[in-house]
Amino acid sequence: MQFTHLHGKTYFIRTFGCQMNMHDSERVSGLLDSCGCLEVAGPEDADIVIFMTCCVREAADTRLYGQCSSCKSLPPAPSGRRVVAVGGCIAQRDGSGLLTNLDNVDVIFGTHSIAHVAELIDAAFDDGEHHVRCEETDSEAATTMPWHRAEQYRAWVPIMTGCNNFCSYCIVPYVRGREKSRAFEEIVDEVTGLVRTGVREITLLGQNVNSYGRDLFGSPRFADLLRAVGETGIERIFFTSSHPKDLLPETIDAMADVPAVMPQLHLAVQSGSSRILKLMNRKYTREQYLDLIDRIRDRIPGIALSTDIIVGFPGETEEDFEQTLSLAERVGYAQAFTFIYSKRAGTPAAEIVDDTPREVILDRFNRLVHVIEDSAYAFNQHDLHTTVSVLVEGSSKKDPSMLLGKSPKNQTVHAPIPDGYSIDALIGKIVDVSVDRARTWYLSGDVVSDPR
């Protein structure tokens, strides 16, 4: 289809939230590129400004209002007219209701409607009216959309959309819909195609990849997918997220057996107290989670474990919190994303009365951050005086003479750019780094191999 108003227009996309939104933005970019639009680095140079929004916590939610309003003070758009579009999870949640508070928004498109973004923006240029589309209920059309990848050497590969878990605090199932797996062959073919174009690392994406395939004919399992993707020639496979209740022994076996699956696992625990886990509707206990961790470590020694933890769930007592602290100490996470509970209207947890003072929650949060920092530091110490292979991502912003990249355990690694190489020649290459410094959030050392 020809969208006559789009050809030659410039666009800018700002993305908030998780990798799902990042990937959706790559699809929106791909679609706009195919309509003859050109991506620019900032909103001031853009005829089309798109916000891909997140509402998982209140802070992400409120940011949109400031960002949208700031578009009003931009210099005039290059073409003389600027269209502002809002997509992502807030758009899906609020639909045309957003127009009440955001008077400069022209287009609103929901999480399942990204395949329509070009026609909506074209129509807005054409008639100057508001165009809202949030009624689609699945994102299947998006998987065949063109794809504009920011990086040539690694890619996100969504394997499923939506979530069926309804953790009591979480808005995601309401804005992303029910779980829907992509066809097994379609994913394997996509990864094969990516390998041919030079991609070396993929991250398989889903809100709970462990329930992949349950809705497909023949119920292929996530373990089968890992094994099949491991045969494509891809060098590094990561995946996120894994719900502990659905991590099967065969998935642990596949992780151990498939050389391309990296020794890293993100396994959100959310709380160390079985009482709070029940209120969260997580469907596992502290003991079951710890038992799972032991089984993973037995099979994959040295694996880097990361997690998500929520502090201040309504009614969390000091005793509950201490259970979280002791669980984090026992597991020894390499990394953790720690969040203060944020009340989300429409979720069951929003109904629970909570009288924990804010300063108590902040104090708990800081205590947890210290435990995580200690365990991340201890974890990185294991790699001191070893050699790690590093996929180079770019140079350090603070010191452009240093390259930075990721180890197989997803640690950030810094090293001086070797003599005779430019950073551009190294991005996407793998180098061996001999580690002589291990800090809380990074390793550093010298490159000891040719780039490959």
CB of 62 to ligand SF4, least distance (A): 20
64 binds ligand F3S (CB under 6 A): no
Q: Length of the chain, please?
A: 452
The 10 Å CB-count burial string (b at 16+, else e) for 244-264 is bebbeeebbebbbebebbbbb
Supply 326's token pair: 């002791």
CB of 280 to ligand SF4, least distance (A): 8
From the list ligand SF4, ligand F3S, ligand SAM, none, partner contacted by residue 239 (C-beta under 5 to 8 A by kind): none
Residue selected from 49, 56, 117, 390 as contacting ligand SAM according to rule CB under 6 A: 56
Residue in 388, 18, 17, 25 with CA at minimum distance from that of residue 240? 18
165 binds ligand SF4 (CB under 6 A): yes
From the list ligand SF4, ligand SAM, ligand F3S, none, partner contacted by residue 342 (C-beta under 5 to 8 A by kind): ligand SAM
Residue selected from 342, 380, 407, 410 as contacting ligand SAM according to rule CB under 6 A: 342
208 binds ligand SF4 (CB under 6 A): yes
Query: For residues 40 and 49, what is the distance between their CA atoms, to the nearest angstrom?
Result: 10
Q: Which of residues 188-207 bind ligand SAM (CB under 6 A)?
A: 207
Cβ(213)–Cβ(225) below 8 Å: yes
CB of 42 to ligand SF4, least distance (A): 32
Residue selected from 3, 6, 11, 18 as contacting ligand F3S according to rule CB under 6 A: 18
Torsion over CA of 77, 80, 86 and 87, rounded to 10 degrees?
-90
Q: Residue 307 corresponds to which amino acid?
A: T
Q: Which of residues 213-242 bind ligand SAM (CB under 6 A)?
A: 241
From the list ligand SAM, ligand SF4, ligand F3S, none, partner contacted by residue 202 (C-beta under 5 to 8 A by kind): none
From the list ligand F3S, ligand SF4, ligand SAM, none, partner contacted by residue 21 (C-beta under 5 to 8 A by kind): ligand F3S
Query: For residues 142 and 159, what is the distance between their CA atoms, to the nearest angstrom?
Result: 12
Query: 349: burial class by Cβ within 10 Å (0-12, 13-18, 19+)?
Result: buried
Question: For the chain, what is the radius of gyration of the CA atoms?
Answer: 23
From the list ligand SF4, ligand F3S, ligand SAM, none, partner contacted by residue 173 (C-beta under 5 to 8 A by kind): ligand SF4
CB of 92 to ligand SAM, least distance (A): 14
Q: Which is nearer to ligand SAM, 172 or 229 (CB)?
A: 172
86 binds ligand F3S (CB under 6 A): no
Which segments of 8-163 are extended strands (E)? 10-15, 38-39, 48-53, 83-87, 107-109, 131-133, 154-158, 160-161
Q: Which of residues 367-386 bind ligand F3S (CB under 6 A)?
A: none
Query: 423: burial class by Cβ within 10 Å (0-12, 13-18, 19+)?
Result: middle
Q: Which of residues 174-203 bind ligand F3S (CB under 6 A)?
A: 175-176
Query: For residues 118 and 20, what is the distance between their CA atoms, to the nearest angstrom?
Result: 20
Which are the contacts of 368, defined by CB distance < 8 A and separation ≥ 6?
309, 311, 321, 324, 325, 328, 338
Query: For residues 173 and 86, what is the distance between their CA atoms, to the nearest angstrom?
Result: 20
Residue 399: what are its φ and ψ, rounded to 5°?
-140, 95
Stretch that binds ligand F3S, among 54-62, 223-231, 237-245, 302-310 (CB under 6 A): 54-62
172 binds ligand SF4 (CB under 6 A): yes
**Which residues of this chain interact with ligand SAM, rule CB under 6 A?**
18, 56-57, 169-170, 172, 207-208, 241, 243, 268, 270, 308, 310, 339, 341-342, 344
**Which residues of this chain interact with ligand F3S, rule CB under 6 A?**
17-18, 20-21, 54-56, 88-89, 171-172, 175-176
**Which residues of this chain interact with ligand SF4, rule CB under 6 A?**
163, 165-167, 170, 172-173, 207-208, 243
